[in-house]
Amino acid sequence: MRRKTGFKDSAAEFERGLKEAGKEKFVLRLYVTGMTARSKRAIQNIKKICEEHLNGRYNLEVIDIYREPILARGDQIIATPTLIKKVPMPIRKFIGEMSETERILLGLDLHPKK
């Protein structure tokens, strides 16, 4: 006699999870200080990374800490530019011009396209 354990077929669940993992939506916040050259480079770099590797699966919010200092305080921003990956978990922070693509991809748990 077989007992019901309440568990579904774990192999099928795992396969389904793998398919859905590539479809996760990313929620990103990029904090900048005005429209300086450094801020503009960070915005361009992260947009390029997102378009190439997340293709429509992201929401990027650019926040100028001069205009919205309360948000910066809430996210404990101590330097700019700073990118925060809010979703999917875990939360991660990146500081700089976002020019080190491989480091950003690794931190976002993405693999570079070959």
H-assigned helices in 1-114: 10-21, 37-53, 69-74, 101-107
Contact 70, 80 (CB under 8 A): no
Closest alpha carbon to 103 in 94, 79, 47: 94
CATH number for position 36: 3.40.30.10
In this prediction, residue 24 carries a pLDDT of 83
- Domain for residue 8, yes or no? no
- Domain for residue 75, yes or no? yes
How many structural domains does the chain have? Answer: 1
Question: By residue range, what is the domain housing residue 56?
Answer: 25-107
- Domain for residue 29, yes or no? yes
Contact 85, 107 (CB under 8 A): yes
In this prediction, residue 98 carries a pLDDT of 95
- Domain for residue 5, yes or no? no
- Domain for residue 44, yes or no? yes
- Give, for all 114 residues of the chain, the pLDDT tens digit: 545 555 555 666 655 554 555 578 999 999 999 999 999 999 999 999 999 999 999 999 999 999 999 999 999 999 999 999 999 999 999 999 999 999 999 999 987 665
In this prediction, residue 18 carries a pLDDT of 47
- Domain for residue 94, yes or no? yes
The dihedrals phi and psi of 58, each to the nearest 5 degrees, come to -145, 155
- Domain for residue 56, yes or no? yes
- Domain for residue 69, yes or no? yes
In this prediction, residue 19 carries a pLDDT of 54
